[in-house]
Amino acid sequence: LPSIGRPIANTLVYLLDSAFQPVPVGVVGELYLGGLGTARGYIGQAGLTAEKFLPDPFNSLPGARIYRTGDLARSQADGSLEYVGRRDQQVKIRGYRIELGEIEAILGMHPGVQECVVQLEEEQLIAYIVLKQTWQEMNAGAWRPYLEERLPAYMIPGRFVHLSALPLTANGKIDRGALAESGKEEEEVKELPQGAMEEAIAEIWAALLEQKRVGRHESFFDLGGHSLLAMQVMTRARSLFGVEVSLRRLFEEPTIAGLAKRLRDALAGERPDERPILASVGREQDLPLSFAQQRLWLMEQVDFASNAYNVPLAVQMTGALDVEALEYALQEIVNRHEVLRTTFSLDKNQHPVQVIHPQQQILLPVEDISYLPADKKAATARYLVTEEALRPFHLNEGPLFRARLFRLEQQEYILLLTIHHIVFDGWSMNILAREMATIYKARIQGKKNPLEPLPLQYADFAWWQRQFVQSQAFPPHFEYWKRQLQGARAFDLPTDRLRSEQSHYQAKSYAFLVPSNITQELTQYGHKHSATLFMVLLAAFQVLLYRITGTRDIVVGTDIANRMYEETEGLIGFFVNLLALRTQLDGQALFYEVLQQVREVVLSAYAHQDVPFDLLVERLHIERRQGLTPLVSTLFVLQNMPNGGTEVDLPGLALGTFNAPVNLGSKFDLALFVSEGTRGLHGIINYSSELFDEATIAALAQQYELLLRNALAYPEMPIHDLELLTEEEKEQKRQEIERRRLSLGHGIKRSKEKRVGFSNLEQ
């Protein structure tokens, strides 16, 4: 890749990610320029100025600006910059932002490649390659293994096309529009689905995996599928064919042909779905809370002014914001989702019920702090955001959805949304972001809200959940958990301080990164053992907990979306359920043996995920812990929400996360959240700062990464013997042992001398 040198005198260079945070050396970021030579903007083009000339977040000088070049680059160890490509060549597929230039660079390093171009066509990456003369016989199927060794799975093109030459425009640039017409695909032809059932399944897969077409013998997981998408496949299949097939079947036969066979067997065996039908219920009757809502409601009765379940979302917006359109979008979302207009009260029998209000007005006045000096502005913004995010809700009064907008500069804002968890979960963030963007875009174009009315609401789900618990379908699910959790107890991690009975469970976070090459190896290791990346990472986490506690019986919690009907996938609400995953570990077991046990535990838990964890606590008489989750002291979550999580794309606006010191406490001693990105696995450990020092958590994160590496490197080594220390740490440990040995030896010598002297004195 071409080097573009170093910044000249009085010039500032930043390489930033999508959240406006600097990227490490060697990682691709967008190039921003600042310093004395930066212009103020484009004459007479306010919109373009707002998009390209942004306030410098790293410069305290009043009015300092940086210029957004649109170029992508990475810094080298010597301080020079390496040009990668253009930002407008950045694409998004299956929730991942991908730099096409990175893929082209890796392909271009192959000795057989003369030229190559990668582009996104119909939600699929396609690589167009011109081979060198001596490599003309190379088959297109050979590219995938080459790239799998160098890139994450989501960056590998789905098709490879060999061309004699790349098409060019009149001025000699690559004609990307003509690429699709220029060559003939040479990869193996996919065998198309056969029959109506396979074709229906293929349509489901293509939609969820964002593929143009799927062959009947292609593996669901090789195409980018994971546990969450697999459950969505089974949900749609159950809705379409009216039979229940275990998710385990998809793992055993992860092809369209295999799943169709299982569905035909289920139909022949007349195994209908026995669960109640999810349908709209009348609003004239009392509407119960879901079991998860009931737990939070009960907790508020104990601590009326608690903010432990506030969910703050702060977004920094730079550019020409249409405040009226934003207010309109938020109002339409509240109108659309009943749960955001819901409060909670008691019925005549003193049971909690949902009260859905017909209207709730959203006002978004601009709170202007742009007049403040630059050195006070950021601190004031953080204070205001923190104060609002921590302000308690009252479930019987509402509203449980609050919005505030702060202006820092003429075209720089912070939007803060604060929502109570009783009406909102992680999946809901994605829905909120997507719908806000859709309605906002329509409004600034002078159009009405384009979203269709929702067929169901959250209250319908809460009603269905109560019916399910009373139905004939419920007992087998409950009996599974009764067997699975019999005798289980929460285990205690070694802590830096003793637990206090008056603990407020203050929380802090620690972030770390597992490189992309390790991520790719872990994914491939999982495929080899018919397991997902989630299962591999969870197995390693449970092994780590076993190693540091010495406890063989490990229970780790994980959040599951719990949206088992397609109609619930577009609803805002508190659907998430906690699964208690229990594993019995043996120190002499190999890692792949642990993985097989974890795989079975996870698949069985998924099959019985409809049972609310709060109901299990109640009926199994699981010991409750003040302020903490019963039975589960640690949480592990792989965050792979569909459609890219909570990213929002609003015209004319650059968006980023605004970080403020908001501490809402910890429901677990320790919770590990992992997400997959272009740089690898991003890990965040939320921990109780009353129990742990940051140094302890940093060491834990390092041990986790080492365990992942060593589980791959030494597959025949028992888990008890997998190394958890770096070479530097082992050397420090050796030196400490040696110091103690010498100190002990010196003490023994002095003790002998004292005893000899005392003996002489006696004589």
Closest CA to 240 of 207, 215, 217, 213: 207
Residue 16 has pLDDT above 80, yes or no: yes
Distances (CA, A) of 334 to 359, 362, 396, 730: 9, 8, 18, 57
Buried b (16+ CB within 10 A) or exposed e, 420-453: bbbbbbbbbbbbbbbbbbbbbbbbbeeeebeeee
Written as six digits, the tokens of 458 are 């959250």
Locate the DSSP E strands across 277-400.
287-288, 310-319, 342-346, 352-356, 366-368
For residue 150, name the pLDDT band (cuts at 50, 70, 90): confident
Question: Hey, is 379 helix, strand or coil?
Answer: helix
Q: What is the DSSP string of 693-760?
A: -HHHHHHHHHHHHHHHHHHHH-TTSBGGGS--S-HHHHHHHHHHHHHHHHHHHHHHHHHHHHHHHHHH
Alpha-carbon dihedral angle through residues 340, 342, 343, 348, given to the nearest 10 degrees: -170
pLDDT at 187: 41
pLDDT at 551 over 90: yes
Average per-residue pLDDT in the chain? 85
Question: What is the predicted pLDDT for the residue at 188?
Answer: 43
Mean pLDDT to the nearest integer, 605-630: 87
The torsion angles phi and psi of 244, rounded to 5 degrees, stand at: -100, 120
| Cis peptide upstream of residue 399 (ω within 30 degrees of 0) | yes
pLDDT digits (tens, 9 = 90+) for 24-44: 777 778 889 988 888 888 887
3-state class of 298 per DSSP? helix
Specify the pLDDT at position 501: 66
Task: Answer whether residue 196 shows pLDDT above 70.
Answer: yes
Other C-beta atoms lying within 10 Å of the C-beta of residue 627: 17
pLDDT tens readout for residues 350-366: 999 999 999 999 999 89
Beta bridge partners of 404: 416
Confidence of residue 757 (pLDDT cuts 50, 70, 90): very low
The pLDDT-based confidence of 186 (bands split at 50, 70, 90) is very low
Indicate the pLDDT class of residue 583, thresholds 50, 70 and 90.
Answer: very high
More confident: 74 or 360: 360
What is the spatial distance between Cα 622 and Cα 639, in angstroms, rounded to a whole number? 28
pLDDT digits (tens, 9 = 90+) for 361-396: 999 989 999 999 887 888 899 899 999 998 999 999
pLDDT of 708 reads: 94
Rounded to an integer, the average pLDDT of 700-727 is 89
Q: DSSP assignment, residue 464?
A: H
| Range in 139-143, 339-343, 546-550 with the lowest mean pLDDT | 139-143
**With the C-alpha atoms ordered 529, 534, 536, 539, is the resulting torsion angle positive or negative?**
negative
Is a pLDDT exceeding 50 seen at residue 645?
Answer: no
Question: What is the per-residue pLDDT for 158?
Answer: 76
Looking at residues 292-316, what average pLDDT do you find?
Answer: 84
Task: Please give the Cα distance from 258 to 243 (Å, whole number).
Answer: 16
Residue with tokens 């009783």, as numbered in its chain: 422
* Segment 190-205 mean pLDDT: 84
- Percent of the chain scoring above 70 in pLDDT: 89
Pairing of the two strands 90-93 and 96-99: antiparallel
Distance CA 409, CA 407 (A): 6
Does residue 182 have a pLDDT over 80? no
Is the pLDDT at 302 greater than 80? The verdict is no
Q: Inform me whether the pLDDT recorded for 200 exceeds 80.
A: yes
Return all residues near 387 (Cβ < 8 A) that are at least 6 apart.
Answer: none
Residue 454 DSSP class? P
pLDDT score of 299 more than 90: no
Work out the number of other CB atoms within 10 angstroms of the CB of residue 6: 13
Quick check: helix, strand or coil at residue 236? helix
What does the pLDDT read at residue 746? 60
Helix (H) or strand (E) holding 33: strand 29-35
Question: What's the mean pLDDT in 318-344?
Answer: 96
Residues sharing a CB contact under 8 Å with residue 309, sequence separation 6 or more, in sequence order: 296, 299, 420, 421, 422, 664
Cα distance between residue 492 and residue 692, in whole Å: 12
Please write the tens of the pLDDT for every residue from 101-142: 888 888 988 999 999 999 888 767 889 999 998 887 777 667
The residue ranges of DSSP E strands in 594-640, in sequence order, are 634-638
Nearest to 186 by CA among 163, 215, 212, 218: 163
Angle between helices 227-241 and 195-209 in degrees, nearest 10: 140
